[in-house]
Amino acid sequence: MKFHTKYLWFNTERKREYINITREVEEALRESGIREGMVLVSAMHITAGVYVNDAEQGLIEDIDEWLESLAPFRYDYKHHLTGETNGDAHLKSLLVHHEVIIPVTDGRLDFGPWQQVYYAEFDGQRRKRLIIKVMGE
């Protein structure tokens, strides 16, 4: 069994941002030389997420509005008694989830026609990290 581990860093300009990282994941897969197995892509912070969906700008805006409606920014989260103001970012992370597993077949991401991997930042404007771990043979 072979393993290839890689970390990506982000420092977004805006608080919330959705970044297509499909190419970076494909690059990590190429570097690994793995032909069969899987790629784990996982945010290393609790105010960010990783998801698989479409690379369509209108949809990304819909997703952002929808997440804000279901897990809104508010002043009165109990978490804010710690001095933080990012309670909503924790809830958005839970909703979207912090990781995906992508199947690898014949040396490529075994995706359907429109699937793309996104890093979803919910509390940006500072350095955050993500792990890509390719596992297989």
CA 119 from chain centre, in angstroms, equals 3
Residue 68 touches its own copies, criterion: CB under 8 A: no
Contacts with its own copies by CB under 8 A: the residue count is 58
CA 67 to CA 15: how far, in whole Å?
Answer: 13
Of the listed pieces 11-19, 21-29, 35-43, which binds its own copies according to CB under 8 A?
A: 35-43
At residue 90, the 3 state secondary structure works out as helix
Residue 19 touches its own copies, criterion: CB under 8 A: no
Q: Which is nearer to its own copies, 15 or 53 (CB)?
A: 53
Q: To the nearest whole angstrom, how small is the minimum distance from the Cβ of residue 17 to its own copies?
A: 16
Residues 77-106 close enough to bind its own copies by CB under 8 A:
77-82, 87, 90-91, 93-103, 105
Residue 108 touches its own copies, criterion: CB under 8 A: no
